[in-house]
Amino acid sequence: SSSERQFLQRKRPIYVPSRIDDPSYVRIFDTTLRDGEQSPGATLTSKEKLDIARQLAKLGVDIIEAGFPIASPDDLLAVKGIALDVGNRVDDDGYVPVICGLSRCNKADIAAAWEAVSHALRPRIHTFIATSEIHMKHKLRKSPDEVVQIATDMVGYAKSLGCQDIEFSPEDAGRSDPEFLYRILAEVIKAGATTLNIPDTVGYTLPSEFGRLIAMIKENTPGSQNVVISTHCQNDLGLATANTLAGAYAGARQLEVTINGIGERAGNASLEEVVMAIRCRGDEQLNGLHTGIKPKHIAVTSRMVSDYTGMTVQPHKAIVGANAFAHESGIHQDGMLKFKGTYEIMCPEDIGLVRADEAGIVLGKHSGRHALKTRLSQLGYELESKKLDDVFKRFKAVADKKKSLSDVDLEALLSDEVFQP
């Protein structure tokens, strides 16, 4: 439409938040709406994608990968809608997230991505091509020289469209020849790439190996000091978070993650794990690394993504699982009642959770007398020692048959019909 044309023609201010000049600042690139949506069965409507994108902006995500515009006309419209909405809302601190669209290394994909993201104040095209021998030979059926040529031509094409923020990913970098990576990465930098994302596409590397790969790329790729190095770790061996942190330690300053760790196959590094690990241990163990994420929005975002995608979060999932701040064993409950730091390294309130009960205590068959006494006292029952012993015996008998006892169960235990002193 003509208003769209006018929009595209106007001179776009480039917002570069000052915090990214900080060498210890780690950008969080969220790909829930792209890689996350590739989880089998996790399809989202355009409205749900927009809601999630708004929530990601509230969370303070630096870059939102909003989708893969060539995948379908709906995907293109959804990315464009996010670019027009979230991508144009500048907050009082000058923050507005980068809106990114994925494309393979071909003109149609790149043009579709640009058509969708160019409406944002800070648009990015993310283009990728495989670089491992196994992918080049069996999937692309191209020689390494041809792959370098395609990559540089297509980064150049993205630049020719007017895109100034171009991310390039050598797909399956975790299994690629490092010497070949240095070569192709140096060429795409010359062609205009501004972020080099290193994907461990099949979740194959170990943390020490992935960290070394990032360090070696930084050391051996001409021009790499002028671009941002990024990680994208899949979770096939359950190592995505560990690999991502190893990459950050080795110098990556953009980390690609998803909410609840959703994504292809076993998923991606999860935003909440990576961010909270950096928050809890960044100063001591990661040379002072920090992110711009506001953790108090984590719990709500996690729930929204789980509800919209239908992908439930397992109870023992780190940070956002239902049991992440629950304590059942008597020894742990006793410790928690004395001092919370005994068994918690962060507070549920940090991620925006409100605990139903002060010490996160779940009364079950492993619980002790101290926890029962405390809960009864919170409910207004101060029992003398002998009576408490009796109630405790009854409590254990019921707890053996039930997963956990609610306040209503406790009231029933104390009621005249059930409790015979």
Residue ranges that bind ligand KIV, judged by CB under 6 A = 35, 128, 169, 171, 197, 199, 201, 232, 234
Name the residue type at position 338.
K
Name the residue nearer to ligand KIV (CB basis): 37 or 171. 171
DSSP per-residue letters across 194-235: -EEEEEETTS---HHHHHHHHHHHHHHSTTGGGSEEEEEEB-
Helix (H) or strand (E) holding 283: helix 271-285
Q: Which is nearer to ligand KIV, 194 or 367 (CB)?
A: 194
Smallest gap from residue 42 Cβ to ligand KIV (A): 15
Sign of the C-alpha dihedral computed for residues 247, 25, 253 and 235 taken in this order: positive
Q: Work out how close the CB of 172 gets to ligand KIV at its nearest, in angstroms, rounded to a whole number.
A: 6
Q: Which is nearer to ligand KIV, 197 or 374 (CB)?
A: 197
Residue 317: CB minimum distance to ligand KIV, A? 21
- CB of 263 vs ligand KIV, minimal distance in Å: 8
Q: How far is the CB of 232 from ligand KIV (least distance, A)?
A: 5
For the CB of residue 333, give the shortest distance to ligand KIV in the complex, in Å: 42
Please tell me the distance from the alpha carbon of residue 127 to that of residue 158, in angstroms, as a whole number: 9
For ligand KIV, the closer of residues 270 and 374 by Cβ is: 270
Distance CA 261, CA 277 (A): 14
8-state DSSP, 86: G
Phi-psi region of 362 (alpha: psi -120 to 50; beta: other; left: phi over 0): beta
- Could you tell me which of 12, 411, 23, 67 has the C-alpha nearest to residue 253? 23
Which element (helix H / strand E) includes 57? helix 46-59
Question: Nearer to ligand KIV by C-beta: 129 or 163?
Answer: 129
**Is the Cβ of residue 197 or residue 291 nearer to ligand KIV in the bound state?**
197
Spatial contact of 348 and 295, defined as CB atoms under 8 Å apart: no
Q: Which CB, 192 or 199, lies closer to ligand KIV?
A: 199
Nearer to ligand KIV, 201 or 243 (CB): 201
Q: Rounded to whole angstroms, what are the CA distances from 300 to 52, 193, 312, 376?
A: 10, 35, 14, 31
Task: State the nearest-atom distance from the C-beta of 345 to ligand KIV, in Å.
Answer: 30
In a 3-state reduction of DSSP, which class is residue 3?
helix
Encoded amino acid at 329, one letter: S
Token output for 259: 């909410």
Structure tokens at 154: 């297509």
Least spacing, CB of residue 247 vs ligand KIV, in Å: 13
